[in-house]
Structure 1
Amino acid sequence: MFKLNKDLELPPQLKWKFSYEPELLGWTIRARNYNTFVANCMFLFLSVALIGLSYVVYLVPAPGEGVMARVVIGFCFYMIFSFLILSVTHQRMNFAYRFTQSGVECCEWKDFPEWALKFLKWVAGITAIFFVFMATIDPSFLLGALIGPGGIGLTYLSMAYSKSYREMHTQYHHLIHEWKVFTQLAIATNREVVDLKYSTTMEGDDFVTNWNINIFCRRKQKEKVAELIRPFLSPGVPFIKAKVNVPLSTD
């Protein structure tokens, strides 16, 4: 019926269940599926603490270390750990949606950030060259070369070859919902999100649990998405506009 821009490719680990049915609507989007206000506060708090630690690093010089070397080492210390904090508190999840006559499918995935490894590798190389050059002027920069580029190199190695770290930053999920399970359709008034509530009995339970799925939309498209969904829902399902309780952010 209409297409939203597709800029992400579905990974081979995920396959559409209703791929044999014509697609009514489909799109991909990158979004933060968590409380971004809390994440911003955490990053601000940790950044302030990191500034204090960087200042402590600056105040405690090694023997023969000059003021300029201390400044550069403190700056490198701040940049390394600031990058690590940012990579933890502000991650994005990839989403792909596909609507058919049978229902809505949502594929969620987060690939390991290979770009971060390349970034660290380049930063380590550039700072190493800088410290070696500065060491020809002030030998104390040789110590900075060990702490700055050396620390970045160790960070790169821990990220590149740590299995647990890679698993923590890699996720694949496939959600499948038939239209009949939805009990409420809502257009978020505070975010570009369409919210669908549904009831289901979890495996091993003997009671019904209420859940919801947030459908991330691009700017000014949530109304169109909601209008497409509405005819497929069971008669009497409420269609409302309401504030989404979980703050979300999208590209």
Structure 2
Amino acid sequence: MFTRKPLTLPPQLQWQYQDEPALAEWSLKARPYNTDIANGIFIFFLLIQIPCLAWLLPSMTSGLAYQLLIGGFLYIVVMSGGFSMTHQTTKFAYRLTASGLEFCEWKAFPEWLPTLLKWLAVITGVVMLMLVMVHPAALIGAIAGPGLIGLMYLRMGTSSQFRKMHESYHHIVHSWDEFKKVTVFRRRSIIGLDFEWYNPEGEDGKGRMIPWEEIIYCRKSHYNELIEIIRAQLPDSTPYEEAYIQIYAGA
């Protein structure tokens, strides 16, 4: 169930409870971070460009048609870059059985992204250089446009950290008796399951238990049914709460 438009799973994935019938299984793309902050940054980029372009464009050309054309082009370029930063997604696949919950999360580096940025830098640079011949003030746009995009391209092309961040694979397995609490955050259609894990390096090497929360992402159309399935696998005494869930990057 819950297999609408399933994602292609990583070839190395093997479910631990694959011999058991699934109570629910689904895959989807989700944004595993604080989307309120990310959306706020995107809106900031969306709005701050308007006064910047209104100040810059009249000094570049006097024709309204050219201003609209150049402004629209720069607006699309900057917003495309902003969107790629604030709306990144991770792929998830979940499988619930009578033995427990297991899921896989993975990302694949978008090979097309450096090429896209490279060509955007080239095209924007050509446009800006043509405008510089008309008005020197366009040099500001040339630096802000192709200059920044070119730096992003070089950064991605040479940074192993950036590539590693966008190439990840995790397969996580939990038995139902590990979970101590269920938290439901309906606005984002996510479920938090509290548990503890042992950190041998805690307490100066003495080791200690760390409280943690596993986040489950699902579609709104399956949300209520999924909550019922999960709660049916846990003791009736398991605390249940509907509240805001803070999601940190990498959680």
- TM superposition score normalised by structure 1: 0.72
Per-residue displacement from partner, 1:171-230 (whole Å, max 9, x unpaired)?
322222111111122443433222211123223333332221221121231222122223
Is the contact made by 1:80 and 1:152 (CA closer than 8 Å) also made in structure 2? Answer: no
Is the contact made by 2:185 and 2:245 (CA closer than 8 Å) also made in structure 1? Answer: no
2-side partners of 1:109 and 1:27: how far apart? 14
Is the contact made by 1:97 and 1:106 (CA closer than 8 Å) also made in structure 2? Answer: yes
2:246 corresponds to? 246
2-side partners of 1:227 and 1:127: how far apart? 53
2:181 corresponds to? 184
2:101 corresponds to? 104
**Using a 3 Å threshold, how does the CA distance of structure 1 residues 158 and 201 change in structure 2: closer, same or farther?**
closer
1:228 corresponds to? 229
1:168 corresponds to? 165
Per-residue displacement from partner, 1:137-169 (whole Å, max 9, x unpaired)?
x9649x89x776787566555544543332233
2:7 corresponds to? 8
1:196 to 188, 193, 207: 193
Is the contact made by 2:101 and 2:174 (CA closer than 8 Å) also made in structure 1? Answer: yes
1:38 corresponds to? 37
Per-residue displacement from partner, 1:83-125 (whole Å, max 9, x unpaired)?
2222112211211111123211121122223343464466568
**Using a 3 Å threshold, how does the CA distance of structure 1 residues 170 and 96 change in structure 2: closer, same or farther?**
same
Is the contact made by 1:192 and 1:220 (CA closer than 8 Å) also made in structure 2? Answer: no
- Comparing 74-83 with 175-184, greater Cα deviation is found at 74-83
Equivalent residue runs for 1:74-93 within 5 Å: 75-93=72-90
Post-superposition offset of 1:28: 0.5
Q: Give the gaps of 5 or more residues in structure 2.
A: none
- TM superposition score normalised by structure 2: 0.72
Is the contact made by 1:188 and 1:194 (CA closer than 8 Å) also made in structure 2? Answer: yes
Equivalent residue runs for 1:33-182 within 5 Å: 33-55=32-54, 57-58=56-57, 61=60, 66-67=61-62, 71=67, 75-117=72-114, 119-120=116-117, 140=134, 155-156=152-153, 158-160=155-157, 162-182=159-179
**Secondary structure, aligned partner of 1:112:** coil
**Secondary structure, aligned partner of 2:22:** coil
2-side partners of 1:96 and 1:157: how far apart? 33
Post-superposition offset of 1:51: 4.1
Superposed CA RMSD in Å reads: 4.0
**Using a 3 Å threshold, how does the CA distance of structure 1 residues 56 and 200 change in structure 2: closer, same or farther?**
same
Post-superposition offset of 1:242: 0.6
Q: State the AA in 2 paired with 1:214.
A: I
1-side partners of 2:151 and 2:214: how far apart? 40
Larger relative helix fraction: 2
Is the contact made by 1:13 and 1:172 (CA closer than 8 Å) also made in structure 2? Answer: no
**Secondary structure, aligned partner of 1:226:** helix
Post-superposition offset of 1:27: 0.6
**Using a 3 Å threshold, how does the CA distance of structure 1 residues 155 and 80 change in structure 2: closer, same or farther?**
farther
Give the share of equivalent positions with the same residue, in percent: 35
2-side partners of 1:149 and 1:189: how far apart? 42
Q: Give the gaps of 5 or more residues in structure 1.
A: none
2-side partners of 1:16 and 1:60: how far apart? 61
2-side partners of 1:187 and 1:117: how far apart? 38
